[in-house]
Amino acid sequence: MATTTGTKKKDFLTIGQLSTEEIHDWLKEALALKKAHKAGKDTPYLKGKVLGMIFEKSSTRTRVSFEAGMLQLGGYALFLSSKDIQLGRGETIHDTAKVLSRYVDALMIRTFGHETVEEFAKYADVPVINGLTDLHHPTQVLADLLTIYEYKGKLAGLKICYLGDGNNNMCHSLLEGAVKTDIDISVASPEGYFPDPDILAAAKNEAGQKGVKVEIGTNPEEMIQNADVVITDVWASMGQEGEAKKRLEDLKGYQVNESLCKLAKDDFLFLHCLPAHRGEEVAEGIIDGPHSIVFDEAENRLHVHKAILKKLLENY
């Protein structure tokens, strides 16, 4: 049974819930954990702790990085697909959350509807981490921010350009993460693919208070001008397979390719959360080219996840 020391539990469901100071603190922690791991000096901060990982959406990077991260921190991770637990047979989220809270010290959930992780967080007695929903992908964006910082030496004052489907979990979390860390962000999407209006309005409101630019437009050539970082994602995510043909047609003008990237800064970085569909949302010459840091980005999922786990569990 999970135990507490009296500290109120903290969940991690969106980037927007974090303060700028917290983001920088978590990134600093991730850098320290990465440095220690590279030196072969992992510390078992989470010895005896157990992470339950619920997957309604399958994943390579999310599963392996959280599982390896718990092992490196001295803990243990349990993989729980919806087919393996009673949640997939009609047990309520309330009951599942209450029961699992008696067995594990934290829960990571990768699912479709964002309301699912919100409901888990409401009823679970242990910290809940959003590993991905259709609306948000906060753990990935923390890894992106860490990777950008490693290459650029700063975050504030940079410009990110996101191209493709703006009504996308990556775009939503990037909007929140960019504004929180004083990065200008532009989004190029066709009509009908703009970001969620509530998330966009909140980002623009905070950006206005901080003097950060948030731009949304349909012209990729305009949006990518002078970008320090160029980011995209697949055009048809898991659960959107039936829309794939229409999406390929609607988004074909938003491919990240050599011609378009000439409008970004000469030393731009290319990021992609992976898996990528080469020849669709990104040209091979970009993702396999000198500006691409997608595998460093993927590696940093490991160290960011360790930082998240340590921060949520060390005082709980």
116 is in an annotated binding site: no
Instruction: Quote the pLDDT of residue 313.
Output: 96
Options 140, 172, 247, 291, the catalytic residue: 140
Rounded distance between C-alpha atoms, residue 133 and residue 192, angstroms: 20
Q: Does 140-297 match 15-137+301-314 at the fold level? A: yes
140 is in an annotated binding site: yes
Whether 137 sits among the annotated catalytic residues: the reply is yes
278 is in an annotated binding site: no
**Strands (DSSP E) found in the chain:** 50-55, 76-81, 106-110, 128-132, 159-163, 184-188, 214-217, 229-232, 269-272
Instruction: Quote the pLDDT of residue 4.
Output: 47
102 is in an annotated binding site: no
| Residue 201 exposure: Cα atoms within 13 Å on the Cβ side | 3
pLDDT in tens, 142-158: 999 999 999 999 999 99
51 is in an annotated binding site: no
Q: Residue 27 carries which DSSP code?
A: H
14 is in an annotated binding site: no
Rounded distance between C-alpha atoms, residue 9 and residue 278, angstroms: 41
The residue ranges of the chain whose pLDDT is under 50 are: 1-5
In the CATH hierarchy, which top-level class contains the domain 140-297? Answer: alpha beta
Whether 273 sits among the annotated catalytic residues: the reply is yes
209 is in an annotated binding site: no
238 is in an annotated binding site: yes
Options 37, 110, 272, 291, the catalytic residue: 110
Domain boundaries, the chain: 15-137+301-314, 140-297
Options 233, 261, 291, 305, the catalytic residue: 233
In DSSP notation, 87-106 reads GGGT--HHHHHHHHHTT-SE
The CATH label, of 3.90.1200.10, 3.40.50.300, 3.40.50.1370, 3.40.980.10, for the domain at 15-137+301-314 is 3.40.50.1370
Would you give the distance in Å from CA 68 to the centre of its chain? Answer: 18
Which tokens is 198 given? Answer: 């509530």
Options 114, 247, 301, 303, the catalytic residue: 301
**Amino acid, res. 155:** L
247 is in an annotated binding site: no
- What's the burial of 137, exposed, middle or buried (CB within 10 Å: 0-12/13-18/19+)? buried
Options 273, 291, 303, 305, the catalytic residue: 273
233 is in an annotated binding site: yes
Whether 110 sits among the annotated catalytic residues: the reply is yes
The conformational region for residue 6 under phi > 0 = left, psi -120 to 50 = alpha, else beta, is left
237 is in an annotated binding site: yes
Options 137, 172, 303, 305, the catalytic residue: 137
Please answer whether residues 254 and 188 qualify as being in contact, where contact means their C-beta atoms are separated by less than 8 angstroms.
yes
Whether 140 sits among the annotated catalytic residues: the reply is yes
